[in-house]
Amino acid sequence: MGFDPREFLQRLRETNPRIHQAAPEAFEAYIDFADKALAPGRVDARTKELAALAVSVFAKCPYCIPFHVQRALKLGITPEEMIEMGLVAAALGGGSSMTYVSQMVQAIEELTTGDTLPDAL
């Protein structure tokens, strides 16, 4: 299976309602926590999103990468800024993290093609 950022985002859109149905309180608590953790506070939302993107690369999460690329694009973060943060993750995570910088670049390219971003989750 290849990496298709739009397909991974679609899978999340399809499975999240099923997860919510199975365990609504836990799912809603997780979403609420994630939203609050990424909201502007002492650190602005842009910086938090760049950090989330770097962690996604470091964690080698093929679902997180396109999700956070999508969010970063909506915040006006440039592809170059995202790639630079991906390289920070690779500097700490080594060669295996570097391969996920490639997935991030692919997600940037795929998600900036066309007139609009895919629907949010």
How would residue 8 be classed by pLDDT, with cut points 50, 70 and 90? confident
Global pTM reads 0.84
pLDDT tens digits along 35-81: 999 999 999 999 999 999 999 999 999 889 999 999 999 999 999 99
Q: What is the 3-state secondary structure (H, E, C) of the chain?
A: CCCCHHHHHHHHHHHHHHHHHHCHHHHHHHHHHHHHHHCCCCCCHHHHHHHHHHHHHHHCCCCHHHHHHHHHHHCCCCHHHHHHHHHHHHHHHCHHHHHHHHHHHHHHHHHCCCCCCCCCC
What pLDDT, on a 0 to 100 scale, did the predictor assign at position 60? 92
Q: Domains along the chain?
A: 5-111 (1.20.1290.10)
pLDDT tens digits along 96-118: 888 889 989 999 998 888 766 65
